[in-house]
Amino acid sequence: MSTDSITLAGLKVTSWIGVPPEERAHPQALELTVEMVPIRGLAGLGGLGEHTVDYAVVAQQIQEVAAAQKRRLIESLAEAVADVLLATHPLARVTVEVRKFILPHCGHVAVRISKGRPD
């Protein structure tokens, strides 16, 4: 398996997320970093876009997943994003970090999930 990767860093999304209902009452700004390991790797692509991951499509899919439903946990959002990307792109592995800016005196809270393609 290749260790080559494509990273989307600091992707800003809006989502209704939080454990207490009052936290989910208004959309919140979140930030995601997604590292994708293509099945094929990046060497020898020869400028052919169809042999790699279209990161503009990935960014749009992430926006759609984040906005699709209210969630209680950023952990659930990270898992949903990973599942969608593995199901729709030629990826061997994906790591998703979700950052939430909710606690006072704290830059952010983050979760990170890493999943591979099911065998």
CA 59 – CA 32 distance, rounded (Å): 10
pTM of the full structure = 0.89
Domain regions of the chain by residue span = 6-116
Q: What is the identity of the amino acid at 92?
A: A
With tokens 């809006």, the residue in question is 14
Considering the chain, what is the average pLDDT of its residues? 89
Tokens of residue 84, six digits: 């969608």
Q: In the prediction, which pLDDT does 76 show?
A: 97
Model pLDDT for residues 36-82, shown as the tens digit of each residue: 998 877 765 555 555 578 889 999 999 999 999 999 999 999 999 99
Q: What percent of the chain has pLDDT over 90?
A: 70
CA 85 – CA 9 distance, rounded (Å): 15
Domain 6-116 has CATH 3.40.50.720: no
For residues 75-100, average pLDDT: 96
What secondary structure letter does DSSP report for 76?
Answer: H
CA 73 – CA 97 distance, rounded (Å): 13
Q: Which of 8-22, 25-39, 46-60 has the lowest mean pLDDT?
A: 46-60
- Label residue 83 by pLDDT band (50, 70, 90): very high
* Other residues' Cβ atoms within 10 Å of the Cβ of residue 91: 22
